[in-house]
Structure 1
Amino acid sequence: MNAAPKRAAHAVASQYAHRTTSTTVTVLDAAGVPLAGREVTVEQTRHAFGFGNTGFDFIGSANGETDADAESIFGGAKPSRATTLEPLWFGLYNTVTLPFYWRRFEPAEGHPNTDRLMATARYFAERGTTIKGHPLVWHTLAPQWLMDKSDADVEAAIRARIRRDVTAFAGVIDLWDAINEAVILPVFTAEENAVTRLALSKGQLEMVRMAFEEAHAANPSARLVLNDFDLSADYENLIERCLEAGIQIDAIGVQTHMHQGYRGEDAITSILDRFGRFGLPVQMTETTLVSGEIMPADIVDLNDYQVESWPSTPEGEERQAQEMVSHYRNVFAHPATESLTYWGFADEGSWLGAPSGLVRVDGTPKPSYVALQELIKGEWWMKPTTVVTDDAGCVVIDGIAGEYSVTANDKTTKVNASAPGKHEVTVTLA
């Protein structure tokens, strides 16, 4: 009787068991003969779970721009910083969010920044990154040129925008926040805009339906997310009404900007339990933790907090690192989540000027970066592991679900072990 196949194993704590794979790989040579008793090296190359961040810092460099060019309308670090940030960014993440804020994407009607965002998207795609477009519909940063249009023309423009951009980026971007912050949409009063005006006449539910149905029609393969910062019962009610109305939501987006302090494991778990009950994957879409002074608790709209300087501090950086590890462990352990996107990589050009990035203004990594790297590419990652195949040419990969490589005699092949649980695959080392 043949002995059990040798295992390329990476120990994983029990709370992450649902993230693991046990994949039996049969390795064949170019002639289709099993490579029995052969030494092979197994190495993880990608997580199935989406570890993400924004890609705003790379828009300028991806388009060949320099610091002398006009400041990026999308924010982020200066183009010259990209060479420093690039190895750090790709040392952690496999998923990126790119900005499609309509007012900035198409400041003049009929003149969208398609080429600029496409160059950025391809930059990430060439490096194996999953790309999300954010967002297709949002009342904030709606174009000013919409204001002079009738409601009927505003709706036509929104529909046309969705079809145009989802179609243009299909195959490069197949993941979108279809509509952003719809809970507050009908009552948003911070700025007069045509999207809120349309929502008052059309209704909240129909605005959501429009966004999802137009995007799905433009790219049936796209995955579409309903995303919101309002995590009250109002959001749960909106989701319930959307599902009852037959709107195809592919994932639920949950924002957790924690400029006012870490909410704690219990609070985050409660949020994930509440939104996980719908049976749809939950994406933690916008997470932030500051490494400086905490924003005062009495601030209702985070955008209202405007300070001349908001520096990162040594004490704050240590706190941020500890909270980051706690948050990531908690989210990764929850079975409802499929991704966690941190909002902002570098402090330079960060939202609100907050010290919320993982990299300081001078381009050096904070303790939070090091702590996350030890988790994502350490504790939750299989480094090169050498084992010998059994008599049938088999080896078992026991580790975190994702993509792996198998190498023997300087020949390498890929293994897709992205589905948790037990699986069998056959690969050829040609």
Structure 2
Amino acid sequence: MQTVTTPVPSALAHRVVGTDVTLVGPDGRPLADQEVRVEQVRHAFGFGNIGFDLIGLANGETGRPAGAGDDDAAMHHEVGSAAPEQAEHLAELWLDVFNMATLPFYWRAFEPERGRPDTVRLRRAAQWFAERGVTVKGHPLVWHTLAPSWLLGLPTDEVERAVRDRITRDVTDMAGAVTVWDAINEVVIMPVFTAEENAVTPLAQRLGRVGIVRLAFDTARAADPSVTLLLNDFNLSPAYEQLVEECLEAGVRIDALGLQSHMHQGYWGEEKTQAVLERFARFGLPLHLTETTLVSGDLMPPEIVDLNDYQVPSWPSTPDGEARQADELVRHCTTLMAHPSVEAFTYWGISDDGAWLGAPAGLVRTDGTPKPAYDALRRLVKEDWWLAPTTVRTDDAGRVRVEGFAGTYRVEVGGRSAAFELGAQGPRAVEVSPV
């Protein structure tokens, strides 16, 4: 039996799955001694990016949405869509590498006036990605930052009802299009947050951290039992570990842990990254690196504690910075792929245009040209970690063996094709009938 295989370094061998594929004709008989073309279609591993820039394109908009130039929107990247003249080009670059999109459900921007959420526009965007084979995640359902101002002044009981109603409505409305949610964001700091007045922090104080996590997860799961729900945080200290422990002990069902890795102040390095992964892998839950950034210009000074406090009039990308960013992104992604608990990572921005904090952290320059980091990531995802189209012959039983990264593959024989999965659960024989 001939074998189609993806050569990989030993550190990534656990990502490779082998399967015997038997091809049969319309009559059910094996297609023996036939020339077969095998190719990879999609990774099972989530290579993600935010999809904010493409919301306008997905909705057929001819200009930027209202508010896209506001300081608050630019700071949090809550609204921004790419300019129409760049959107189609960005979409081509985006779809050529990524298979998982994060869309913004920041409550303040999503529902600035109570009872008038931006549901139609965000669902169209989610469907646009889903139609192109992209997994869509909503970010986030509960967060103290960017909570709507109309919650202020309401009794805490009414705030709780509004939070529950928001979760139920949005998870229900997005069912089938958004299949992953950051159920709650940055809970470690939530009860003690003082940077701005909001109505969610008092609710977290009353319910406690575990209580508000339970509220988010239980309400979302009741609305759509099929969704994958993440607990997400930037605070990767022992306090987050304690929160995870307490939630699991209390019976809260967490599907995956979200770990933010905004590296505006410099690359963590392999040793720190590995240590973080090991600390959180002990819970036996899948790990998602939910928010990754690496700048291609000057680094943010190390004395800055809250990244939002660093405001500069100009933060350009530089040739030296772009070379550094490319090298660090390859090293970071390779470290993540080498750890068996990591099942997804999301880079926080395709373009420098409107990037979070104005940092040159995107993979594409403001003029639409890819940076070296984009090219380097594409080589990893679509070349080094990808099964190139290969032609082999079936044996007397109509079989070929396929070994590659877990994901979706296609076989073609005699002008007919069929898709099959190489599953992360391990090798198993697959029978396909090309049509």
TM-score of the superposed pair, with normalisation by structure 1: 0.98
In structure 1, which of residues 59, 64, 75 is the aligned counterpart of residue 60 of structure 2?
64
Aligned residue number for residue 305 of structure 1: 310
> What corresponds to 1:116 in structure 2?
121
2:404 counterpart of 1:408: no
**Alignment of structure 1 residues 31-430 onto 2, 5 Å:** 31-67=27-63, 70-72=66-68, 74-419=79-424, 421-430=426-435
Determine which of 18, 21, 30 is the counterpart of 2:17: 21
Residues 270, 335 of structure 2: 8 Å contact kept: yes
- Write the letter of the residue equivalent to 1:214: T
Q: How many angstroms apart in 1 are the aligned matches of 2:363 and 2:194? A: 33
In structure 2, C-alpha distance between the alignment counterparts of 1:146 and 1:346, rounded to whole Å: 33
Q: Secondary structure at the match of 1:421?
A: coil
Judged with a 3 Å threshold, the aligned counterparts in structure 2 of structure 1 residues 68 and 24 are, in CA distance, closer, same or farther, namely: closer
Deviation per residue, 1:64-95 (Å, 9 max, x gap): 21236534351243233111111110110000
Asked if the contact 1:406/1:412 (under 8 Å) is kept, the reply is: yes
SS across alignment from 1:263 = coil
Distance 2:255 2:103 in 1: 19
Q: Distance in 2 between matches of 1:311 and 1:256?
A: 21
Shift of residue 421 of structure 1? Answer: 2.8
Report the Cα distance in structure 1 between the residues aligned to 2:433 and 2:229, rounded to whole angstroms.
35
User: Is the Cα–Cα contact under 8 Å of residues 106 and 143 in structure 1 kept in the other structure?
Assistant: yes
Q: What are the Cα deviations for residues 314-333 of structure 1, in whole angstroms up to 9, with x where unaligned?
A: 00000000001000100011
Q: Name the amino acid aligned to 1:23.
A: T
Contact 2:64 2:81 in 1 (8 A): no
Query: What amino acid is aligned across from residue 350 of structure 1 in structure 2?
Result: A
Cα gap change, 1:176 to 1:69, in 2 (>3 Å)? closer
Q: What is the CA-CA distance between 1:251 and the residue it aligns to?
A: 0.2
For 1:205 and 1:414, how far apart are their aligned partners in 2? 43
Q: Give the Cα separation in 2 of the matches to 1:370 and 1:56.
A: 21
* Matches of 1:30 and 1:347, distance apart in 2: 51
Which AA in structure 1 matches 2:392? V
Partners of 1:68 and 1:400 lie apart in 2 by 39
| Whole-Å separation in 2 of the counterparts to 1:79 and 1:271 | 40
How much does 1:31 deviate?
A: 0.9
Between 1:256-265 and 1:9-18, the stretch displaced more is: 9-18
Ranges in structure 1 where 5+ consecutive residues have no aligned partner: none
Give the SS at the match of 1:210.
helix
CA distance in structure 2 between the partners assigned to 1:420 and 1:18 by the alignment: 11
Does the aligned pair in 1 maintain the 2:149–2:198 contact within 8 Å?
yes
Q: Whole-Å Cα distance in 1 between the matches of residues 65 and 41 of structure 2?
A: 36
SS in 1 for 2:429: strand
Tell me, what secondary structure is at the counterpart of 1:429? Answer: coil
Quick one: which amino acid aligns to residue 403 of structure 1? Answer: T
* Matching residue's letter, 1:336: S
Identity of aligned residues (%): 57
Work out the CA distance in 2 between the residues paired with 1:344 and 1:183: 25
Give the Cα separation in 2 of the matches to 1:68 and 1:228: 30
| CA displacement 1:203-222 (0-9 Å, x = unmatched) | 11100000000001000111
Structure 1 distance, partners of 2:64, 2:208, is: 45
What amino acid is aligned across from residue 365 of structure 1 in structure 2?
Answer: P
Across the aligned residues of Structure 1 and Structure 2, the Cα RMSD in angstroms comes to 0.9
Structure 2 contact 262–294 (Cα < 8 Å) conserved: yes
Cα deviation code 1:295-349 (max 9, x no counterpart) = 0000000001111111000000000000010001000111110001000110001
Return the letter of the residue paired with 2:375. V
| Cα distance between partner residues in 1 of 2:248 and 2:352 | 39
Aligned partners of 1:18 and 1:420 also within 8 Å: no
- The residue type paired with residue 168 of structure 1 is D
In the TM superposition, residue 420 of structure 1 has moved relative to its aligned partner by: 5.0
Contact 2:296 2:361 in 1 (8 A): yes
Indicate the SS of the match to 1:416. Answer: strand
Give me the whole-angstrom Cα distance separating, in 2, the residues matched to 1:334 and 1:174: 24
Number of corresponding residues: 426
Taking a change above 3 Å as real, the CA distance of residues 69 and 216 of structure 1, as seen in their structure-2 partners, is closer
